[in-house]
Structure 1
């Protein structure tokens, strides 16, 4: 596997260390949050994050080739849809561990298909805020829902709040890099920065992380970054995360880990 994280393909088995390195390079925010998950589910969540990265990369041809339009990206996404639905041989190194996590019940096929559908929607952008909102809840929101499902969360209301957490993170990240994203050709919020901030804060309020049950707080760590990004706006467009952001996640992660461990001990 290439260490730059640009390609998830290699000959032979997928190595955990290589996967962790690729995820950290491609998705450093979520990789940091995943470090606080229990060791029993962390490898599956890293496969999930790598899968999400593959779906996001499928959008690149549509942004770079005006003649081809979205077709190249849609073909790549359809390949993954066929794999998830069992209609294609899983000949990508990520496919076997992803399908195994589905078979073991750690991940939910319906949630993964929603994440995939959100990437398809990005290739067919709609100017309505309602369409954008659904895309965020299914995509970035679906990813956090999947993390909650991996942790054993089954309450529909709690899972919906984790979707809102993921959507808030996605909106915050979009706001943080707004000037640069406007030049990227990516499907953005169909409004101005103030409207995007309002949508992000609405997602954050719907999540209400402070009142989440202990079983779900570890899945809601991206809300820490969402809150900071939504307050800050686009002043750090194109810049890497600062130490303050990372420390805030680490502090919340340690607290959530202790609460999670205490709740597990009490249940046993």
Structure 2
């Protein structure tokens, strides 16, 4: 029996918004259990909203204010304003109906402040922390929506899978972040290949840039391997939460092959291949 509370019109509008903002999670959502699809739709849209703040502001301060608004909203401090927002209103209802833990949602907002600035990512430990509060948290919250009891056994899988997923995402975004002056590749990986943030952005030394990109992909592959080992122990009821992870390995493969070309060319697969990967993963229950 479905717990869906969205009207047909609202669902249609929100699905269109997710498709435009995050087509990969939209495609994955279509293969997830129908009984929780509306709730996951709202959760994914919240993530899309805070992830896109950098794209919607010209300066960091308005971005911080926007993230603070979301932080206040999930904490229950802006209920009247939330009622008029197409994502905030159903998100508040979801938090209350499912008894979702609020702390991971506020931490997601706090972590996204990093996106607003061009500060370098210091090292792999810092990157793991950032990914843990963004991609990993979303996976863990998705598992909670699917089965709160089973989700208590998924933190290790969510942690490693989120890092792998974040690495794949940043590899796909390299042409965009390079143009912005952002570097998500951890500083210790850059320095190990003889690069600094500035020299990586300059892109003059393609061999070293290629080595840095391969090292970053290898970092993601290491976490993907650990995620798969942990996912083998995850209860079947929550495995659909990890469907988006099915596309990570191919991105890592392509990044390792394209190397320095990733700075100007996307490593994202065509949509039909992404759909096929997701369908296959959904059938097999392995990612």
TM-score by length of 1: 0.80
1:83 counterpart residue number: 73
Change (3 A) 1:187 1:153: farther
1:160 aligns with 2:156: yes
Are the counterparts in 2 of residues 106 and 149 from structure 1 also a CA contact under 8 Å?
no
User: Residues 114-167 of structure 1, C-alpha deviation per residue, up to 9 Å, x if partnerless?
Assistant: 221221232354531222221111111111111111101444441331232132
User: Which whole-Å CA distance do the structure 2 matches of 1:33 and 1:242 have between them?
Assistant: 12
User: Residues 3-61 of structure 1, C-alpha deviation per residue, up to 9 Å, x if partnerless?
Assistant: xxxxxxxxxx9711011111012111111111122112111111111111111221125
1:250 counterpart residue number: 279
Are the counterparts in 2 of residues 145 and 160 from structure 1 also a CA contact under 8 Å?
no
Instruction: Please point out which of 213, 229, 234 is paired with 2:235.
Output: 213
User: Which whole-Å CA distance do the structure 1 matches of 2:16 and 2:113 have between them?
Assistant: 27
Instruction: Please point out which of 99, 108, 114 is paired with 2:107.
Output: 114
Q: How far is the alpha carbon of 1:237 from its aligned partner? A: 0.6
Instruction: Describe how 1:21-170 pairs up with structure 2 within 5 A.
Output: 21-61=16-56, 65=58, 68=59, 70-88=60-78, 89=80, 90=82, 91-105=84-98, 107-124=100-117, 125-129=119-123, 130-154=125-149, 155-170=151-166
Change (3 A) 1:240 1:18: farther
TM-score by length of 2: 0.75
User: Which whole-Å CA distance do the structure 2 matches of 1:178 and 1:252 have between them?
Assistant: 26
Q: How far is the alpha carbon of 1:194 from its aligned partner? A: 2.2
User: Which whole-Å CA distance do the structure 2 matches of 1:239 and 1:215 have between them?
Assistant: 29
User: Which whole-Å CA distance do the structure 2 matches of 1:187 and 1:14 have between them?
Assistant: 40
Following TM superposition, the consecutive aligned residue runs of length 4 or more in structure 1 with deviations greater than 6 angstroms are none
User: Which whole-Å CA distance do the structure 2 matches of 1:29 and 1:187 have between them?
Assistant: 23
Change (3 A) 1:138 1:14: farther
In our comparison, the structure showing a higher alpha carbon Rg is 2
Q: How far is the alpha carbon of 1:102 from its aligned partner? A: 0.6
Are the counterparts in 1 of residues 22 and 48 from structure 2 also a CA contact under 8 Å?
yes
User: Which whole-Å CA distance do the structure 2 matches of 1:245 and 1:223 have between them?
Assistant: 11
Are the counterparts in 2 of residues 45 and 147 from structure 1 also a CA contact under 8 Å?
yes
1:175 counterpart residue number: 171
Aligned length: 240
